Structure 1
Amino acid sequence: MFRTVLRTPEVIRQAYLQAERGHVSTDLLDASIGQSWLRCLESGLRVGSEPELPQMASGELRHELGRNQRFLKLSSPLAERLSSNLNDCQVILASPDATILKRLGPHQDFMADVTMDPGTLMPESLAGTNAPGLCLIERKPVLVNSCEHLLYPEVTVGCVAAPLFDLHGDVLGLIDFTFAANHPRPDQFLDHANWFSAAFEHQLFLDSYRDHWILQVQALSTWSQQEPSGLLAFNEDGSLIAASSHALKTFVTTETGLVGCPVESIFGVSWGALVDHCRKYPGVLSLEKTGRQMIGRLSPPSNWRAVTSLPIRKPGKLSATDALIRSWPSELATEARRAVRALEAGMPVLLQGDTGTGKEQFAKALHTDTESAGPFVAINCAALPEGVIEGELFGYRDGAFTGARKGGYNGRFLQAQGGTLLLDEIGDMPLDLQARLLRVIQERAVTPLGGHEELPIDCRIVAASLHDLEELVDQGRFREDLYFRLAAVVVELPALHQQADLPQAVDRLWHDVCARHGSSAELDPELLEQLAGYHWPGNWRELENCLEALLVGAQPGVEYLTTADLPIRWRRKFQQHALVPARADTRLATPEQQPRNLKDLEWEHMQRTLQACNGNYSAAAKTLGVSRSTLYRRLNKEPASSPGQYKTFC
């Protein structure tokens, strides 16, 4: 541990003056700095000489980058991620001999007079005391303050560097954080260096054993904290072949005593049961070790392919989804059933439909039919301020920002473990947050705000939007890559007036409303016919509000409710609707009587094409060169030249 009290500029200046006279006062210096100064003087380097550091030619640098290709492949994504969260330093990756390979992050003003470009050689034998060179000798993270650079006492930067090791303990490279000399807390970069070392080991282990089964484990008590996960690699027989350093600490044993052990002797569960769980339910599982509850995630070899057998429903049993879609047009109902199978297989599902069409209710039905053990969790992306939604989704650590909840917050992804997460109104999510969401969905892991450790997630994802996401992509308001990730299966929820048996649907909803209020009242047939004949622009939500207002406003004890029992507002709406002629069926056959805009013409062209394809949306969409969801969405909108007109569809 470095001694802060002895590393002030005044104390270092005293040591420097003595070094100019050929004497190193190790009692005034940090131990590693003092030893470095001694080595520099013994090798003939001159105090304050400020030598120009050698630079590799472009051909030599290309060769050096090639030699360190694997190191850069594993370290660069981590370094880029860390650099994007730091605005007060320059992040640098270097080779095992302290040759600069890569600089990350925006250029910093304090780097103006510092030569640390790719190809610069910085071993201690050439550059004197410096963090990259010193960490390779010490084999641990080191801090070198600006005035501790023996050959460059006037340099305007300080540095923290840490060596990065392979699985055999040999140095693969290093990471360096270079910051302004007057930085108020240089020690914080030691924390970043320690985190990066652990994260690099994690990535290296995953890459080295990608052709084996890897079990990621963490104590349940530390699962939502910044505690790193342990990694265990198993062969096809379930015998342990390697363990990460943190896994060894977790199990309080040595690798020699652990390697070769079958998984059953470690966790008390058979290898076959673990593999079967991975095949059926890829994601988080519960384990136990010496009485400690643990969370694990088993990842198969890179060349492994699971043969997934989906649950078979008992004949005659109406699923939650089937109960909702029994009145849907057949083509849309087929997509809805496909969504159940997709969600069971772990694929995301996208729901699109106008307001009030029951997107959340349908998502809950999907959750029920997949028989998830975990909860159904929903978040409305449009209802939360932009500065709040990120913490709500991904969680945050204690002290991550002003006003953060004491003890931190898990976030909706972690709350939905083992269950289903509904991302409602996802079309309103800010673009920068969409990029992070895409990474979480792809990696199946989330990093809470203020944290560094990735936590595995195991939840099925349903996204919903009243907007056409394809149109938002065309407008640059929604990321195309995220759309493709979410839209493996798209379910278009039909408008209420498209239900095949609308009177029965209204009657079923009426009895649901009555059950909530403990009523046995019935609807007069004439009233039921009026309710079924209305176009309901607000869909199910508007109908339910109307029925509830009808029931609670009725006289107590009334057994049959008629049109006279409707609130005056609804009676007027039904009367106005009855006076509007349904002209949509004849629109295409009558001559134009008024100028129309391009959207009207597009609507008519789509209608004609759909008619020519005998109502087959897929064939019509292919003919028009648009997606089926776009065709359905655009035909479901009222032409601009006839607001309020009742719509009919082929």
Structure 2
Amino acid sequence: MNQTLRRAIVDSQEFKISTKNIWKRYQDVGQYNEGSIRGEIFDSWENSKKLGISPFQNKINEIIKQNDLEDRLKKNEQLLSFATPKIKSLTDILNDSKTMFSITDKHGTILHSSGEKTVLKKAERINIFTGGTWSEKSAGTNAVGMVLRTKKPSRVLFSEHFCEKNHEWYCVAYPILAPFTNELLGIINIAGNYNQVHQHTIGLVISEANNISKSIDQQYYEYILRNNLFMNTAMEGIEDAIFVVDSEKRIVEKNGAARSQFILSGIQSIKSLPELDRLVEFVLQHGKIIIREEVNDNLNKKKFICSIYPVTFQDEHLGAVIFFRENSASAAPKPQQLTSVRSVNSKSTRYSFDDMIGSSPEYKEVVRKAQKASLIDATLFLAGETGTGKEVFAQAIHQASNRSNHPFVAINCGAIPHGLFESELFGYESGAFTGAKSKGNPGKFELAQGGTIFLDEIADMPLDLQVHLLRILEERVVTRIGGDKTTPLDVRVIAATHKDLNEAVKNGQFREDLLYRLRVIQLKIPALRERISDVPALVHHFVKKMSGQFGKQEILIHKDTMQCLTQYTWPGNIRELKNVIQQSLFNMEGNIMFPFDLPPEVIGNLGENEKERIIEAMIRENGNVTKAAKVLDLSRATMYRKIKQYHLSAEDWIDGK
């Protein structure tokens, strides 16, 4: 335990008296004897005075409204999810030490408090509860307020508080900081006003609070590692120079490429590049991405191509990542190259994130991650059952990326004959084999230059060719069959399969080193049965999209039909659903889609129930088809078609009487 804190707890009365005298002298004449109180406390007193805080106010001034509190809680769900399991383990320690534990957001607003009941009640009297804002502006000198200003661990003991009403309290606070950008995300605070507690007990609870803050820091680090832009782009593994800046536009990190370049290594502030400064300001204000903008370094007479990505967490823009590449004539693509890749691109992509249909939590989460993945250039692996829409995701990611003006080339690894696989992927030179084109032929990787190659059903790639793909991923060059010239590649790889690659590795059917190369980032696309609440939206989408093919408009879906569709397990996923709707549109008459319009495997037991209802209606109406149809809310033509579908005859309702 810190020496000052130990003295305050063990000799609390003496400490409080001496500190109180210093506080009184400061309030009376604005002075104190140097060394009699910590410098950071005096700085906070001075700041509290400048903010107009009355030393005699008896409560925290700022309490946010309920609606604002709900917004804050929602924005900080991740922070609270990290902290909650740790807080539960403190119950006994908090009770024994007569203390309370609070966690605040980055503004000092309390999101959660727990602890010994009498301490919590005393805290409530001075507005220390959920929704109260514990800043210097609201409460004068206090530990949370000092952390807000300094981003450093702080403690305020008894009469060190600016407001006299708080002189019975001690509090120790620890910041929770974002990795790399060092932005404040939240604060952990321990407080108490019961001074007859053993120093060991207090030391234990303070130590636990410190451990919790470090644990949450680590969880944030791991979260960033898994999900955030600049880690996923493997800062040290790419050729571009990278700056990481915080929300104040201070450079907090550079990668090796930036440190090794003479000009960039000497840049201490982006303000030295006014054009870049304005672009970063825009990104931080709006959370928008800027792709390949030219920035002039007038001092060194250099031009750079920059891409800037916001670093966002819990809807807050914590900073930005800047990618630099020196602009040179050799780096610019030739005009004819641009023309050709655009023509390939226009023919090969149809889907974007606007085509994603579904509002289930499972689907929204994978779409969110896919959108995040579109902002980076790392190799991506899509896992999911057949028919879940893996290529739709791959195309949408390409369309939202900075490669969208370049080709998207898809290849189904399970549909290429083994003998043609190598030439399809890697190309060949003239005369490489019998039947080869006289001028040779580029492979799919060359055709995808500057853009994205989508390797669907990657598990079906022959084992002997997997080593060639591994070399491409490692060296980023391709050599055509029959040639010795290597072509540098600038291609993003997205791979997908419905198979279990871990199992394939165990069975010796897939290379383990290739698996690790492909799984830089992995997205699992949920099966349709795992997001069954999205079925109605998908049904209406496909009906609207395809009804014109069958000369139909304004199609209505009967409620029993939708019940069938939502109860079915969809082993073929979205692809099967689309086919079912197409078949049903073909089957139906009129503008209402009834259950009997669906294929038999989808109807299930409902068909038997419907058959029985038709027989009952015909019995009731003495075999009058028109009246029975009216009872069932069907058209006469539909009634006749149903009778035919279920192979019914007059004997069925005559015998049923």
Q: Above 0.5 in TM-score?
A: no
Give the TM interval when normalised to the shorter protein: 0.3 to 0.5
Which TM-score applies when normalising by structure 1? 0.40
How high is the TM-score relative to the length of structure 2?
0.40
